[in-house]
Structure 1
Amino acid sequence: MNDSGELPTLRIAMVSLHTSPLDQPGRGDAGGLNVYVRQLATALHAAGHHVEIFTRGEGDPDFLSPEIPVHYLPAGPPGPLEKERLHEHLDEFGRALCAATHGHFDVIHTHYWMSADAALCCRDSFAIPIVHTMHTMGRVKLHDHPESSELQERLDAEDNIVDLATRLTANTPAERAELVRFYNAPLAKIDVVPPGVNLEIFNPHGDRAIWPSASSSSALKVLFAGRIQEFKGPQVLFNALLLAKTKSPNASIHAVFIGDNSGPEQLNLPQMVERHHMHDAVSLLPAQPPERLADWFRAADIVAVPSFSESFGLVAMEAQACGVPVIAHASGGLAHTVLNNVTGALIMDLDPNHWADKLVELESDGIPETWSQNAAAHARDFSWERTATSAVASYRRATQPTK
């Protein structure tokens, strides 16, 4: 605390090794984590703190804003590298991070397990406190989706991170409980830091995209936005649309899927549309920038989030901020982000039959009028300014001398 009684500003190194905050969400490995790092860094800077970001790459820094540099550090051969191979090069990134941050920062905030695994060498070398946000957890993914393949290196690293990081942050109370349940994390070490929403972009009052269906005036308009990979569940929604046609042949439902293929086991949605003759019921679009994504949210009647698990569910909250109800899998953070029968509906499993039943019900009975207003009001409680305030509180706990 300085002479005026104010707490000192912090020098914060944000680390997102496997994906840059400058990357387009919904493309490649970019998603909610990218939005989180970008928006949190911006809000921290606006609150008067010094923030620099470190990611894998080469060349001179880019800038998130004139005051927030994005530094590139080496990890393996130059150029793109599959996320599944990056763990082989974490030591190289860690050494470069140690050299770049030594003596210049008060705290390192790492995002995703690879970032923390690499940064732990900084902690060992000169004891910069590390605050870590998991975003997703290997053991939770295996629990929710036993068929998924998770590296043993990841599981071991996450155990190590829980032991050695100075503080852990969780997006929701549900994620905090998962850290305790699956990793035996000490409850006193975990701070709940809810993500926010850019309410200047995601709100009910902007433009609406033109829905690409000739019958959209009468159809139930359903939107999926996210990476096209099995864990995000686009195949659940697609199969539900197929079943809905059988269950209720007269139902008029049209879905737009927004996102690019991601991961080693890619879903071929165009082929699925062709095989099942779903051209009249499904439209496919590439990942969209935030301003355009908000237009698509506002054009939809309902946004579907059939992820196997989410630590928070940023797409669900951004949709609600636009005044659009959400149907989501009642798993992980989504059970906290979507209020069942208030801002949308939670579905207890990923059985496409149950999702089809809900779509047919909404098409037949209509979406409750209160859901839209409730969704927008709920989202207004989530701002990045509040996220930054909570994050700073965690940073200050991490930098306090141990007694």
Structure 2
Amino acid sequence: MKADWALEGQLNEIASEVRRFEKGRAMLVNFFKKIKEYDFFDNKIRSAFSDIIESKLSYPVLPVDLTGLKVAGVDGGMLSRSLQILDIVLVRAVAVVFKYEVGGKVKAYYYPKEYPLPKVVFNLNPLSQADFEVSASLERLSSELEVAIKVQREYDIDLLLLDGSLIPQVADKPLNPSLESKYLRVVGLFEKLYRTCSENDVALAGIIKDSRSTRFVQTVSKVTPLVAQRNNIVKEVLSFDYRFFIQKMLDLDFLFRLLDKGERSTILKYSENPELHPTLKDISGDWRDKIYVTYVKPAEFDMPLRVEFLALGDPITSARKITSAVMSLSSHHPEYALPSVQLEAHAQVKLAEKEMNFICDQLIHKIGLPPHLFKLRNKSFPPF
């Protein structure tokens, strides 16, 4: 009974803390909703912070008529298994091309084809679990980028959407020197993709469904005191500890509350210091300053989508073009926002455990070694 009371006390404490945080978040966002129409990032702010591109917190997005457009969605699936004598990675990458015709008809094309056989990658060198996961992720990225590049040779595309970021993520950057060449190959493929899209006049964007970024809220937190010095309305937010609450929010949480359906956030450069960013600094200077970020909210009851895009010219023009298309492609359900072409690509690349089991069974047969050598690493338990 005492244990039950102790547990209930813990739960009550957690509930109280969550309510307090939620009240503070609601106050914070309600304030910023009141000033959405103001030039929050005025000329002085944008002069001091060159990574901020526009003046308002949010902008409306006008859906575009998709008729005549050809949109490609690229995704990759992966399964990995670490065995006693080798590591195996299965990778499948597919580009789905939707061609929108008159009357709402859509033709679908696939590259290299529908449900292609997975690529089998093996490694005989011993790797730690962390290094193995990085290696497997780099294999998936390489396959996706190769498909994104090659599909442009086969089809005349207007917009290409990657599932994920337009640059390597920090988790993809290996600490093990033996994986450096694999990482640099991925960096080279990203740059080749930028170049190929530029040469073919293809708009390029990366769509992130569940971003953990705090880039937007950090920017708002940083400039708010400066704006308040010149704007009496903004001074209101200083009446309570706004930083305590905003610094505990993700971009998605803040913008889900701030944005209305059919809006996007202001445009930011990918990083305020590209030369110091852990992975963006590895991208050539020809490209690293041309990658931007915005968030768009196509569905009322789902989180906004983080949209990273390549802009060779005016980033505002590029953002309008890309987010309008993303809005039209993603507004198919009030509770789930993702471009329809990406949903199809995701379905194409999904791998099942039975495929890995089949590959392993075939290898055991062909190699001819005792089956116990093919047991999973770190899966042995004492028989008691």
> How high is the TM-score relative to the length of structure 1?
0.30
Higher relative contact order (CA 8 A, sep 6+): 2
> How high is the TM-score relative to the length of structure 2?
0.31
